[in-house]
Amino acid sequence: MADPEGREAPPTDAEEAISRLSPDQRRLLAARLRADAATGASRYPASGSQRRLWFLTQWDQDSSAYHVQQTWLLEGVPDRDALGRALDRVVERHEPLRTGFEVDEHGVYQVIADAAGVPFEWADTSTSPAARTEAEMMVAQHARRSFDLRRPPLIRALLVKIDARRYLLSLVLHHIACDAWSIGVLYTELGEMYRAAVRGGDPDLPELPVQYVDVTVAERGRGRDNEAVEFWREELRGIPQLALPADRQRPPEPSGRGDTSEVTLERGLVDQLRRFAAGEGCTLFMVLMAGLEVVLARHSGQEDFAVGCPVAGRTSTQTEQLIAPLFNILPIRSDCRADGTFRDLLRRVRERVLEVFARQDVPFDRLVDIAGVQRSPGIHPVFQVTFALQNVPTDILDLEGLRAQRVELSNGTSKLDLSFVLAENAQGMSGVVEWATDLFERATVEALWRRWQRLLAAALDEPDRSEERRVG
């Protein structure tokens, strides 16, 4: 458990006892705790992800940096009442969305509410000559409004009428209640709940085998594997911060302001990268990561640094349909020697990724403690850049009688110096790069993205050319 300043406290006797339980014994303990909840004992210790996000939110409680914003352009006429009922039923099904948080001298606790209706706002800009612009401004304001983590639900919605057949739907969740994988689950279930609400039937969804609180009980014993801890201790020993040249000096206290740019990779390049990866016994993610490491090494002049990699943390089929913060973030340490070739680097990246992913159960808070990194509101510990390759569709929302198109709108914040998120689609790959505007101009970030693309194409042509001789 971490204290309000982020220091890792020694495990309690209860935590040590839980760590020695078998998986079956932990499941029985979870069932007993949930039975206790039925008689009024509704508090549970927060999970590692929840604690970390709770503490991060305390640095600036008005910040929207940890909001997950989703905006859709709906064509057709939505049934507002049915949509509201569908949202409420999703929250009823998934406990993290109706969970609040309390803190005392012993730590942070999740408190699950029996019910929590989704705040669902309505607005109409259709009479304005700038209806779409005004609607997007309302959506931006809706996304920036802070959550009170003590009071669930941690999701809200806004529907704005642009004209007779077009509407903007904004969904905003707090990251403490969900992760990237959760968004795909949310869209699937919202579509099914809406269909049932419109038709007047029951949704066709299986009963969830577990809830998130059941998972958190089992988690209490994770992160104490001696072999994994020793691996991470050596892996993170002496790890330096990545010092990318910035357009502005890093402020002592970051504002949290950021911006985003949409990016794409053409299908032809993606297919070539995938074939190259297969020939090297690697994944597409590994090839992309190797390219990013080269770009960051050249831009910073450093060979040794880490890039953060979010992982879904859903190692059991029982958790695949949960809306919950099951993710972890793993540091992938670079060894980007200038005198090596891209093929050499790729082999090192492959080895490192496999080693790291095999030990992904150690929570990030524990990694920070193992690394001995001083926490500061001014800079993220261990890594300052993240890269995620998402393999769960988050751009499909099927609402009966409506055509839904995803709209990318920035909420004006950034959690890190740079974050790259890519996902494959029919056209190749698309995604978003997010950056801290305290540090970078848009032109600088977009130039880095183009450099990454050029380097990947050049590496395909000459994978055995020394990187110090490569131009790009």
| Mean pLDDT of all residues belonging to the chain | 87
Cβ(67)–Cβ(411) under 8 Å?
yes
**Per-residue model confidence (pLDDT) at position 219:** 65
CA-to-CA dists, residue 214 to 34, 41, 325, angstroms: 8, 15, 13
* Residue/partner pairs of 447-450 with CB below 8 Å, 24 or more apart: 448/295, 448/299, 448/418, 449/261, 449/263, 449/420
The model's pLDDT over 416-448, given as tens digits with 9 standing for 90+, comes to: 999 999 999 889 999 999 999 999 999 999 999
Q: Among 50-64, 137-151, 308-322, 412-426, name the one with the lowest average pLDDT.
A: 50-64
pTM metric for this prediction: 0.83
Indicate the residue type of 430.
Answer: S
**37, pLDDT greater than 50:** no
Cβ(231)–Cβ(359) under 8 Å?
yes
Least Cα distance to 336 among 302, 308, 299 occurs for: 302
**21, pLDDT greater than 70:** no
- From the CB of residue 374, how many other CB atoms can be counted at a distance below 10 Å? 9
Confidence of residue 468 (pLDDT cuts 50, 70, 90): low
Confidence of residue 30 (pLDDT cuts 50, 70, 90): low
- Across residues 402-421, what is the average pLDDT? 92
